[in-house]
Amino acid sequence: MTVASLSAVVLPLGMAAAAGLIGCFAVMRRMALASDAMAHVALPGIGLALALQLNPVLGGLAALLVGTVLVWALEHKTRIPTEAVIGVVFSAALAIGSMLTSGEELIEALFGAPGPVGGGETALGLAAIVFVIAFVLKAKSRLVIALISPDMARTAGVDVARLDLLFLLAFALTVALGLRYLGVLLMGSLIIIPAATARQLAGGFNGMLVIAVLLASASTVVGFYGGPVLRVGPGPLTIAAAAGFFFLSLVKRRA
């Protein structure tokens, strides 16, 4: 397999799998809106990287990691409600980011612009995919207990603050994986929508994880292969497909 075919097939599907898995916990932790806002923090990083002629995805990743640690610290060290922190910090990031980025570049940063991906970025992407998937599979029991009761998790020996930080970092990496393909505005949706759909359909927790991964992958395949055929951007079509699955799941649930 060549590097080009790797980046064309494995990266999008790996991104989808990571998004589906991380999304399940984001949805169950009631982070649906917060995670959309969190994705926006990548924008000033992308803008800065473009201004300095660096790789925009790396700039976005750096901004995401800084934003994540900031949210975690504010949540654990102060009594300011997380919702307020996220609302202020990330809306500000979007505003500053759109001043730093302009024209065509801004559209690409917001909605994604798939193209050939370099070897270094592919390797980094694969490493991020492996990290996110391994983290979710290894930590899922701890994440479930902490979700239901952080206090009960502590008495079971779980370091809840550390787990929260690792989860947020995995979340930031997942957003970064989608910056190239889906952009700042749409990647949050690929994390949230398939997981929200899986939640409607699944009877148990492992079922939800499997369904979310399958739906995120199917949406990505529809977007990436259908986009060129329909002459629309693959990112928007991916999210439209994911939303389509969501509405279908409502029908199924009613039935």
Contact residues for other proteins, defined by CB under 8 A: 28, 30, 79, 140-142, 144-145, 147-152, 154-158, 198-199, 202-208
Taking the complex as a whole, how short is the minimal distance between the CB of residue 245 and other proteins, in angstroms?
16
- The smaller minimum CB distance to other proteins, of residues 158 and 168, is found at 158
Taking the complex as a whole, how short is the minimal distance between the CB of residue 184 and other proteins, in angstroms?
28
Taking the complex as a whole, how short is the minimal distance between the CB of residue 103 and other proteins, in angstroms?
43
Taking the complex as a whole, how short is the minimal distance between the CB of residue 24 and other proteins, in angstroms?
9
Taking the complex as a whole, how short is the minimal distance between the CB of residue 30 and other proteins, in angstroms?
8
**What does the chain look like in DSSP terms, one character per residue?**
--HHHIIIIIHHHHHHHHHHHHHHHHHHTT-HHHHHHHHHTHHHHHHHHHHTTS-HHHHHHHHHHHHHHHHHHHHHHS-S-HHHHHHHHHHHHHHHHHHHS-HHHHHHHHH-------HHHHHHHHHHHHHHHHHHHHHHHHHHHHHH-HHHHHHTT--HHHHHHHHHHHHHHHHHHHHTTTHHHHHHHHHHHHHHHHHHH-SSHHHHHHHHHHHHHHHHHHHHHHHHHHTS-HHHHHHHHHHHHHHHHHHHHH-
| CA dist., res. 84 & res. 167, Å (int) | 20
- The smaller minimum CB distance to other proteins, of residues 4 and 144, is found at 144
Taking the complex as a whole, how short is the minimal distance between the CB of residue 198 and other proteins, in angstroms?
8
- The smaller minimum CB distance to other proteins, of residues 131 and 205, is found at 205
Residue 187: name the closest of 225, 220, 227 by CA. Answer: 220
- The smaller minimum CB distance to other proteins, of residues 229 and 255, is found at 255
Count CA atoms within 13 Å of residue 172 on its CB side.
25
- The smaller minimum CB distance to other proteins, of residues 143 and 182, is found at 143
Taking the complex as a whole, how short is the minimal distance between the CB of residue 151 and other proteins, in angstroms?
5
- The smaller minimum CB distance to other proteins, of residues 77 and 231, is found at 77
- The smaller minimum CB distance to other proteins, of residues 191 and 198, is found at 198
